[in-house]
């Protein structure tokens, strides 16, 4: 599904807001996005961006409902649907050569509305860009998200997480004193956007993962200045290379955890050329926003589901919200202790981000924070069902060990006593259509 097709689907479902007022890429777009995400959390299309011809899209995948619209399933089936499709990675890519507008690499700031988001950010940042590279030895493609600070003259500065796949590929090139060719994809299809958020085994080609997610082969086209092929419908492609043995200051930047990352020495991407599709969109992700959580959290939820199913086949669903440190697991207990086994399996699925694992019964809506908090309040015994596991490291950028350790919260009813914990229900409530009652008018007699 191409980006413009997905946008049309969101319009058909009344899931996108069009902003016709001209907006400034410096702070204003971020401010409007944040306000909308805190109210109705719909996708946003900014038609007119000050100083630029290219419109801006954001928050397209900010809810499981919109993820379901792309996948063709209900929001509560997203995790299982994705898990099933990931077992079918066998798509062959076809190659086409369309007409793309070619711009000089140094013209990034003249044509692309790179945005400044937070008050103390070190400058404009590309946040929704996806780096496409291939392993210098095997040719296997990797897709990954990275913040990229634009500093002028066609230069971007980005951070690679040590040990992640981009870092592994770059390390092979750098050891040979070679630059790593790469392309920044902006405004790619939803399938490519989701594939970039996953971390399959290193030898799995992530372009094939994108094909599996959309259920059809990716159509590809060759680049102009690098030996890479890109998805045909990519709106903006920034071709270039990551320089070996070169690090320069990057930051500060308003991170997903809600604070600023200080200036650090990070990698340098040198642009060779920019190519544009016929009607490109610039894509932006507000860090730490519901969309950021959904994009990164959904693959974590899929990994949790697959891991838990190995030990608790009666697992029903998993979710990762309202922040990336929380994992929610829904199971049908078959024996006492199932909840704690499920939690251990879920934690093992992601040893960097999930700090708190909450396990609930089938009658709890894991997509409703209030319902999960209710289960914690009435079904979790503080002296019996809360388990702290100390000494487990988290992600690499944690110098003060603020995120070490894990917590299991068993919010399930005691095994065999679920009837004693039956929830009260109001007959007919699910069938009530509130608008039928609120729209009635009393006629004068």
State the sign of the Cα–Cα–Cα–Cα dihedral 259, 263, 264, 268.
positive
- Global pTM value: 0.88
Q: How far does CA 370 lie from the centroid of its chain? A: 23
d(CA 363, CA 330): 9
Architecture of domain 3-284: Roll (2.30)
d(CA 34, CA 28): 10
Cα 234 to Cα 35, 193, 194, distances in angstroms? 28, 11, 14
**Helix, strand, coil % (nearest 5) of the chain?**
30, 25, 45
Q: What is the DSSP string of 223-239?
A: -SSSS-EEETT-SEEEE
* Helix H or strand E segment including 275: strand 264-276
Q: Which two tokens stand for residue 170?
A: 């770059």
Q: How far does CA 292 lie from the centroid of its chain? A: 5
- Give me the residue label for tokens 């070490």: 404
- Any idea of the CA torsion for 67, 71, 75, 78, to the nearest 10 degrees? -100
Contacts for 183 with CB less than 8 Å, ≥ 6 apart: 131, 132, 133, 223, 226, 228, 230, 237, 238, 239, 240
Cα 277 to Cα 103, 186, 221, 235, 287, distances in angstroms? 12, 11, 11, 5, 26
d(CA 28, CA 115): 9
* SS (HEC) of 352-405: CCCCEEEEECCCCCCCCHHHHHHHHHHHCCCCCCEEEECCCCCCCCCCCCCCCC
Series of mean pLDDT values for 10-residue runs along the chain (445 residues) = 92 96 96 94 96 96 93 92 85 75 90 95 95 96 96 93 92 97 96 93 92 89 94 95 97 87 95 94 92 89 95 95 89 94 95 92 93 95 94 79 91 85 84 78 49
Q: Which two tokens stand for residue 411?
A: 């919010």
Tell me if 63 sits within 8 A of 41, measured CB to CB: yes
Q: What is the DSSP string of 290-345?
A: HHHHHHHHHHHHHHHHHHHHHH-TTEEEEE--SSTTEEEEEE--SSTTHHHHHHHH
Choices 3.20.20.70, 3.40.50.1360, 3.40.50.1980, 3.40.1670.10: CATH for 290-421: 3.40.1670.10
pLDDT for the residue 437: 82
Tell me if 287 sits within 8 A of 147, measured CB to CB: yes
Q: Report domain extents, the chain.
A: 3-284, 290-421
């Amino acid at each position: 599904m191409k980006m413009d097709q997905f946008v049309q689907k969101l319009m058909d479902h009344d899931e996108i807001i069009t902003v016709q007022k001209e907006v400034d890429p410096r702070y204003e777009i971020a401010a409007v996005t944040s306000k909308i995400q805190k109210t109705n959390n719909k996708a946003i299309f900014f038609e007119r961006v000050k100083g630029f011809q290219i419109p801006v899209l954001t928050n397209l995948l900010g809810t499981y409902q919109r993820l379901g619209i792309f996948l063709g399933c209900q929001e509560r089936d997203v995790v299982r649907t994705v898990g099933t499709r990931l077992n079918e990675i066998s798509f062959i890519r076809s190659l086409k050569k369309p007409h793309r507008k070619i711009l000089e690499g140094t013209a990034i700031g003249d044509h692309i509305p790179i945005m400044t988001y937070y008050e103390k950010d070190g400058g404009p940042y590309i946040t929704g860009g996806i780096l496409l590279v291939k392993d210098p030895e095997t040719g296997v493609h990797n897709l990954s998200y990275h913040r990229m600070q634009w500093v002028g003259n066609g230069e971007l500065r980005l951070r690679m997480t040590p040990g992640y796949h981009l870092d592994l590929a770059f390390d092979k090139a750098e050891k040979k004193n070679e630059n790593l060719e790469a392309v920044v994809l902006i405004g790619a299809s939803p399938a490519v956007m989701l594939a970039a958020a996953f971390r399959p085994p290193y030898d799995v080609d992530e372009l094939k993962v994108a094909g599996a997610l959309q259920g059809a082969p990716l159509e590809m086209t060759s680049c102009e200045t690098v030996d890479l092929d890109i998805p045909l419908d990519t709106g903006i492609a920034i071709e270039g290379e990551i320089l070996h043995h070169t690090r320069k200051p990057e930051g500060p930047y308003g991170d997903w955890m809600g604070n600023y990352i200080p200036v650090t020495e990070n990698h340098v991407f040198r642009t060779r050329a920019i190519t544009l599709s016929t009607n490109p969109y610039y894509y932006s992700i507000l860090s730490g926003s519901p969309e950021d959580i959904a994009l990164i959290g959904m693959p974590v939820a899929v990994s949790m589901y697959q891991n838990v199913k190995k030990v608790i086949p009666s697992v029903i669903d998993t979710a990762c919200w309202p922040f990336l440190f929380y994992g929610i697991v829904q199971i049908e207990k078959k024996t006492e202790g199932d909840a704690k086994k499920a939690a251990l399996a879920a934690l093992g699925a992601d040893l960097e981000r999930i700090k708190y694992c909450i396990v609930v019964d089938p009658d709890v809506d894991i997509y409703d924070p209030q319902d999960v908090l209710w289960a914690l309040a009435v079904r979790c015994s503080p002296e019996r069902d809360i388990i702290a596991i100390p000494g487990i490291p988290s992600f690499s950028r944690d110098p003060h060990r603020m995120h070490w350790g894990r917590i299991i919260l068993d919010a399930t009813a005691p095994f065999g006593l679920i009837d004693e914990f039956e929830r009260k229900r109001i007959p007919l409530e699910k069938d009530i259509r509130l608008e039928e009652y609120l729209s009635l008018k009393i006629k004068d007699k």
